[in-house]
Amino acid sequence: MTDLSTMDPETKAILDMMATQESKPLSDTSPAEFREQYRATSEMMDGTDIEIDCTEDRSIPGPAGDIPVRIYRPVVSNTDLLPILVFYHGGGWVIGDLDTHDAACRHICGDAGIIVMAVDYRLGPENPFPAAVDDAVAAASWVGQHAEKIGADPLKIAVGGDSAGGNLATVVCHHMRDTDGTKITYQMLWYPAVGQEEGKSSSSTVEFATGFVLQMDTMDWFEAHYGAGRDITGEAQYAIIRSNHCGNLPPALLLTAGFDPLQDDGQSYGRKMQAAGVAVDFAHFESTVHGFLTMGRVIPAAVEALTLSAAKLREAFA
């Protein structure tokens, strides 16, 4: 039985609340319904007190039409070009949008004093794998080519995201390295979904399969919809942990949560990068669950993790 003694009371209260809620089986829930549920939860739990200057909703060209983005600008006293973080939201490549991660992006923007561009990439099953990857790469490439037009420094570009968005950030870094594309300065990976080594199930995947926000049946549901019925578990742009070429990547922050099925695989991927010579900062928040960084209104650890992330970005861009 899982030891809950290290879980913080705020996280436990959320899990207790979830346990009392009645909902129909996930197998009977449509992507559209799940998206609405996720938006409602994010609106209730996400929050920040960090001040920024402004936001701008616009579109940039993508491989299958325009990609909506939201650009966050910090309060600054000069007109110098600023570093920029290209951010990919989480949600299993099926749910999530610019609004579900708005507060987290605002915090990073204001605290780090950088521009953040959040990317509303295409979601499955309407746009199955690798549509999200294609949009993620296109967005980072666009910033590399047009950074100065939005007040950003083309030599100070980071990518980051949580969960599925963390996966996209890792894939973008591999792509840019292998194609001599946009130079990425740093990667900010919040409990990234990196897949699993072939034929293996990590200990955390087994131990936290049920009852801890991100469950095994939810992961299976995401994978099935992202692949639109196709088995993508072995695809290089999905199971990035299986890559044998983890060197020459940007320095990284690899942040994990203690009651998260993805923690072991995320940390294993970080160690693979580290063994290949990549500088990796590991940050483990043992008292909480997957997704906590967008629960800043109710989980104090979220503000701590956001503050740490902003500090690491400032260091990387210094």
Would you say residue 306 lies in a domain?
yes
Q: Residue 18 pLDDT more than 90?
A: no
Q: How many CB atoms lie within 10 A of CB 152?
A: 24
Bigger pLDDT: 81 vs 197? 81
Would you say residue 1 lies in a domain?
no
Bigger pLDDT: 95 vs 16? 95
**Residue matched to tokens 């940039």:** 60
Identify the pLDDT of residue 28: 83
Structure tokens at 120: 């509303």
Instruction: For 194-205, write each residue's pLDDT tens digit.
Output: 998 876 677 887
Q: Stretch 142-164: mean pLDDT, rounded?
A: 98
Identify the pLDDT of residue 311: 98
Identify the pLDDT of residue 212: 80
Would you say residue 242 lies in a domain?
yes
Amino acid sitting at position 78: N
Report if pTM > 0.85: yes
Q: Stretch 288-310: mean pLDDT, rounded?
A: 94
Q: What is the mean pLDDT of the chain?
A: 93
- Among 125, 117, 80, smallest CA distance to 98 is for 117
- Among 297, 298, 60, 296, smallest CA distance to 309 is for 296
Q: Residue 291 pLDDT more than 80?
A: yes
CATH number at residue 41: 3.40.50.1820
Please state the domain count of the chain: 1
Would you say residue 3 lies in a domain?
no
- Among 219, 211, 228, smallest CA distance to 195 is for 219
**Residue 213 banded pLDDT, cuts 50, 70, 90:** confident
Q: Which residues contact 60 (CB under 8 A, 6 or more apart)?
A: 66, 67, 69, 138, 139, 142, 146
Q: Residue 24 pLDDT more than 90?
A: no
Q: Stretch 117-133: mean pLDDT, rounded?
A: 98
The neighbouring-strand residues paired with 188 are 160, 253
Residue positions annotated with a catalytic role: 163, 260, 290
- Among 274, 209, 211, 272, smallest CA distance to 240 is for 272
Which range marks the domain in which residue 313 is found? 9-317
Picking from 45-59, 178-192, 264-278, 279-293, which range would have the lowest pLDDT averaged per residue? 45-59
Q: Stretch 163-189: mean pLDDT, rounded?
A: 97
Q: Stretch 82-105: mean pLDDT, rounded?
A: 97
Q: Residue 22 pLDDT more than 80?
A: no
User: SS3 for the chain, per residue?
Assistant: CCCCCCCCHHHHHHHHHHHHCCCCCHHHCCHHHHHHHHHHHHHHHCCCCCCCCEEEEEEECCECECEEEEEEECCCCCCCCEEEEEEECCCCCCCCCCCCCHHHHHHHHHHHCCEEEEECCCCCCCCCCCHHHHHHHHHHHHHHHHHHHHCEEEEEEEEEEECHHHHHHHHHHHHHHHHCCCCCCEEEEECCCCCCCCCCCCHHHHHCCCCCCCCHHHHHHHHHHHCCCCCCCCCCCCCHHHCCCCCCCCCEEEEEEEECCCHHHHHHHHHHHHHCCCCEEEEEEEEEECCHHHCCCCCHHHHHHHHHHHHHHHHHHC
Would you say residue 13 lies in a domain?
yes
Would you say residue 206 lies in a domain?
yes
Q: Residue 102 pLDDT more than 80?
A: yes
Would you say residue 234 lies in a domain?
yes
Burial of 300 (0-12, 13-18, 19+ CB in 10 A): middle
State the virtual CA torsion across 113, 306, 187, 100 in degrees, nearest 10.
Answer: -100
Picking from 14-28, 83-97, 224-238, 259-273, which range would have the lowest pLDDT averaged per residue? 14-28
Whether residue 8 contacts residue 288, with contact meaning beta carbons closer than 8 Å, is answered with yes
